Amino acid sequence: MGAAITIDNLGKRYSADDGHSVQAVANLSFRCNPGDFLCILGPTGCGKTTLLRLLAGLAKPTEGRVLIDRQPLEGIHPKAGYVFQQSALFPWLRALGNVAFALRMQGMSREARNEQARGWLDRVGLAEFERAYPHELSGGMAQRVALACALIVKPSLLLLDEPFGALDERTRQTLQDVLLDLWRETRATIVFVTHNVEEAVYLGQRILVMAPPPQKSSEAILIDQPHPRDRLSEEFVASLLQVRKAFEKTLCREP
């Protein structure tokens, strides 16, 4: 069900107003199999959000290309879902309305889409909050709703941009497990961006450590442990160390 991703020499250059330009992403290539959980790890400013937007079709590459299911990506992929860093829930709609939004765009009738939306709210554990406005929800609850919003259309590719970054440790861990459950259920390909090493190791099957250009990003690190992973186990700690080393390397080489 998930999408296969191929990135070929991808590059993105932004030109600023005063003339000079910034190379956000350079010479990036990797592959992703259907149903993979890929984490992209990197410090702030290394271009991971840009990469995600390129994968979503929200931005166009200046060099190279993106292939989804071996088709070059033109604009927003119809089977992609996106969870933004800041809460992108529409503040004028209640939780139910937010979740049902994508179905409404597709023209589904009110009863049908509300019924499905309720189902998804229940899956993310927020059944009683369907009439709440986003400003009445806590950060964690809002991100859960966001997950429901993205997943209601059964995307084959789910892109998440540091969705749990603003949450406290406890909530973050809960939501990580929620995400893993949903991933198992839907078998979508997930690309998860984070700057938190532990989170990347807990979630990802493969971890791509990114560095700001002109540095080269590392190869994808494989984490071959089954989910759910035990944060205190030896293998976990070993993987953590491995990834952290790669992470530190990119940090040290900062100009």
- Given a contact cutoff of 8 angstroms between Cβ atoms, the answer to whether 87 and 161 are in contact is no
157/161 Cα distance (integer angstroms): 13
CB of 92 to another protein, least distance (A): 4
Binding mask 89-118 for another protein (x = CB under 8 A): -xxxx-------xx-xxx------------
Residues with Cβ within 8 Å of residue 104, at least 6 apart in sequence: 113
CB of 146 to another protein, least distance (A): 9
Out of 149, 160, 175, 211, point to the residue binding another protein (CB under 8 A).
149
104/97 Cα distance (integer angstroms): 9
Closer residue to another protein (CB): 101 or 183: 101
Q: How far is CA 14 from CA 40, 41, 50, 201, 214, in A?
A: 21, 22, 10, 31, 15
CB of 109 to another protein, least distance (A): 14
88 binds another protein (CB under 8 A): yes
Q: In this structure, what are the phi and psi dihedrals at residue 58, rounded to the nearest 5 degrees? A: -75, -20
Out of 35, 42, 61, 81, point to the residue binding another protein (CB under 8 A).
81
Out of 153, 167, 180, 240, point to the residue binding another protein (CB under 8 A).
153
212/46 Cα distance (integer angstroms): 4
DSSP string, 57-88: TSS--SEEEEEETTEE--SS-TTEEEE-SS--
167 binds another protein (CB under 8 A): no
10/127 Cα distance (integer angstroms): 42
Closer residue to another protein (CB): 102 or 200: 102
CB of 12 to another protein, least distance (A): 16
Out of 15, 86, 109, 233, point to the residue binding another protein (CB under 8 A).
86
The residues of the shown chain that bind another protein, judged by CB under 8 A, are 56, 58, 76, 78, 80-82, 84, 86, 88, 90-93, 101-102, 104-106, 133-136, 149-150, 153
